[in-house]
Amino acid sequence: MQTLIIINDPPYGTERLYNGLRLTIVPVDATGQVSAQAVVDAVHPDTALVSIMLANNEVGTLQPVADIARQLAGRGVLLHTDSAQAVGKIAIDVEALGIDLLTIAGHQFQASKGIGALYVLSMPDTGPSHCLARPRVK
């Protein structure tokens, strides 16, 4: 069973969408920030992906994404950051962050609703060790 690690994401519906994957929710502190060490400690040998917001949409807290990336380096875990709240407000340097995947939402900078972008550092291994489940279509 593969593991996905989600930081500060409401767990409702998640298990329904990612059937067959173990999900680990890593809590945040009172300011909305996650501990990089808590994220690293949550990684299992079968962890395939860590997903974290770059900036919290409610209080604006910036997450220690670059620190998490440094600690995950060489472990075979993909690192995704949802940068929808950060784009256009702070400079985003994907190399400095050390991330594999980044998503942004166009409505944050006056694009049409439903427009977004996915940055992919390189295509991940699609073999069994990184075979992420796709959401079920009803």
Enclosing H/E stretch for 137: none
Number of domains in the chain: 1
In a domain, 138, yes or no: no
- How is residue 46 annotated by DSSP? T
135 domain residue, yes or no: no
> What is the residue range of 99's domain?
3-130
**Residue 17 placed within a domain:** yes
Q: Rounded to whole angstroms, how far apart are CA atoms 43 and 121?
A: 21
Cα(10)–Cα(77) distance, integer angstroms: 22
Predicted local distance difference test score (pLDDT) of residue 18: 60
Residue 117 falls within a domain, yes or no?
Answer: yes
Question: pLDDT tens, 87-98?
Answer: 888 999 999 999
Residue 137: inside a domain? no
CATH number at 9 reads 3.40.640.10
98 and 109 Cβ atoms separated by less than 8 Å: no
Contact predicate 68/51, CB 8 Å: no
pTM attached to this predicted model: 0.78
Q: Is residue 136 in some structural domain?
A: no
Q: Is the pLDDT of residue 66 over 90?
A: yes
**Each residue of 24-43: pLDDT tens digit?**
888 889 898 999 999 999 99
Cβ 98 vs Cβ 73: under 8 Å: yes
Quick check: is 59 in a domain?
yes
